[in-house]
Amino acid sequence: MDHLAVPPAPRPFDATVRPPGSKSITNRALLCAALAPGTSTLTGALFADDTRAMLGAVAALGAEVETDEGRGTVRVRGGLGQGGGGTVDARQSGTTSRFVLPAAALRAARTVVDGSAQLRARPFGPLLDALRELGATVEEETPGFLPAAVTGPLTGGRVRLPGHLSSQFLSGLLMAGPLMRDGLAVELTSPLVSVPYVEMTAAVMRAFGVETQGLTVAPGAYTAADYAIEPDASAASYLLAAPVIRGGRVTVEGLGTASLQGDVRFADVLERMGATVTRTADSITVEGPATIRGVDVDMADISDTAQTLAAVAVFADSPTRVTGIGFIRGKETDRVRAIVTELNRAGVDATEDDDGFTIRPGAPRPVSFATYEDHRMAMSLALLGLRAPGVRIEDPGCVAKTYPRFLRRPGGAERASPPGDDHGPGQWVTCVTTPWARSRPRSPSSCGWARRPGGPRASPRTGRWTGRRT
Ligand SMILES: O=C(O)C1=C[C@@H](OP(=O)(O)O)[C@@H](O)[C@H](O)C1
Ligand SMILES: C=C(OP(=O)(O)O)C(=O)O
């Protein structure tokens, strides 16, 4: 099995980093741009498996897309064509599949939406039922799951929708709302999880000319826009957790109090654990505490960072209890069970609760962690290796879903590691274990760590590292 050996961090962090573009904002902006007549230009976009899935999906809806990965830009010529339907492969992407189903159902053509075996196991029932109620014909092989075919057009109107499984159903419906003949009014039949993502949906829609009123959208039209995408706040959670686990400080640039992403609030949780947090409109700095305190925290709004917190909690001086996240059992894997199982395998006393988990402090023993085809398992468990010797991550390539450069092969598709990295050929290195800004900075284009003047730099052409080490 392909694996990554995570070497313990040799010294505390002192680094500034800009994570890649937000997956959630990229996929919303791509869809809104595809529904807007005219040409939109997106900057700061994420290029990863989930956003490639959305690029394919909007092309299937009839948008013309031009990408420049080096610059992080995407040009989209949109406007909902009434073309001939087709098939969308959403791969592993919840956002792509849940956002494209309502958009595809705006058209009279039949569109099939499918994805990986993992995505086929995730829930779609509430969304498919809502589309039926709103006037679409929906065909499923297994009720409530992908693959599903939708044929429109949606007439729109009032619809009832449960909120407790995923907010993505609601976001997908809202984005298609203005193009429904009668507009859309959603009534939630159970409490909504991941609330900040729905606020993000409204904000991106507004940037493309459509206003929502609560969960109601009047009939209208999108307008093309030039739109700048923030760095990814869920990706930032790993980078901000690193100095709490190992000491030192990390500044994340491009994310701060003005962010559209709820996951920036992960820094608030680190603060409650004793970290010193400094925020500006577009940066967050976390400085690790001498002693980490356990916390009791409801993470229903920021559940993508729950596994990151579990990794930090292992090194606290008292137990940590996370609640409100029962619904993450339906994500890439059953994340509650998976994180508890892996921590138990490392000898850590962790237990599952119905709606979360409890982690008691411990010293992880050497272990090869399984990652369950879940990028967030890989990135979170890699953090343990910063402090605990002998940590290995299996199938590290799964990070490609949202953060392809978080773990990478030296000399592989990305570029060679800097001189002095003690990783043998064929192994993986991770961004969190090699950013020692004083001695081993990386170029901003590899992991996002800012380069210090005078430090070594990698040639973009050859990937070879040259220059003096500071
Ligand atoms: O709308 C979005 O962009 C997302 C919403 C969340 O999902 P749920 O609403 O299913 O919790 C989150 O976990 C996912 O990574 C992205
Ligand atoms: C749950 C996630 O993704 P999605 O639901 O978009 O597949 C995630 O990125 O953690």
Query: Is the CB–ligand 2 distance for residue 294 below 6 Å?
Result: no
Q: Is the ipTM of this complex over 0.85?
A: yes
List the single range of 83-87, 103-107, 182-186, 351-355 with lowest mean pLDDT.
Answer: 83-87
Catalytic entry in 304, 334, 354, 374: 304
Q: Is 443 annotated in some ligand binding site?
A: no
Render pLDDT for 363-385 as a digit per residue (tens, 0 to 9): 999 999 999 999 999 999 999 99
The pLDDT confidence band at residue 2, using thresholds 50, 70 and 90, is confident
Is the pLDDT score of 421 beyond 70? no
Residue 43 phi/psi, 5-degree rounding, is: -120, 155
Q: Whose CA is closest to atom 8 on ligand 1?
A: 166
Phi, psi of 14 (to 5 degrees): -155, 85
Is 237 annotated as contributing to ligand binding? Answer: no
167: Cβ below 6 Å to ligand 1? yes
Ligand 1: atom nearest CA of 328 is 11
Average pLDDT value for residue range 28-43: 98
If you average pLDDT over every residue of the chain, what do you get?
A: 88
Q: What is the pLDDT of residue 37?
A: 96
Instruction: Flag whether pLDDT at 226 surpasses 50.
Output: yes
304 a catalytic residue = yes
452 assigned ligand-binding residue: no
Assess contact for 175 and 103: CB atoms under 8 A.
Answer: yes
The Å distance, Cα 194 to ligand 1 centre, comes to: 6
**Distances 166 to 100, 127, 327 between C-alpha atoms, Å:** 15, 10, 7
Query: What average pLDDT score do residues 169-188 get?
Result: 98
Report the residue among 165, 167, 377 best suited for mutation to probe ligand 1: largest number of ligand atoms under 8 A from its CB. Answer: 167
Q: Using 50, 70 and 90 to split pLDDT, how confident is the model at 159?
A: very high
Q: Is the CB of 91 under 6 A from ligand 2?
A: no
More reliable by pLDDT, 76 or 422: 76
Q: Is 246 annotated as a binding residue?
A: no
Phi and psi based region of residue 235 (left: phi greater than 0; alpha: psi -120 to 50; beta: remaining) = alpha
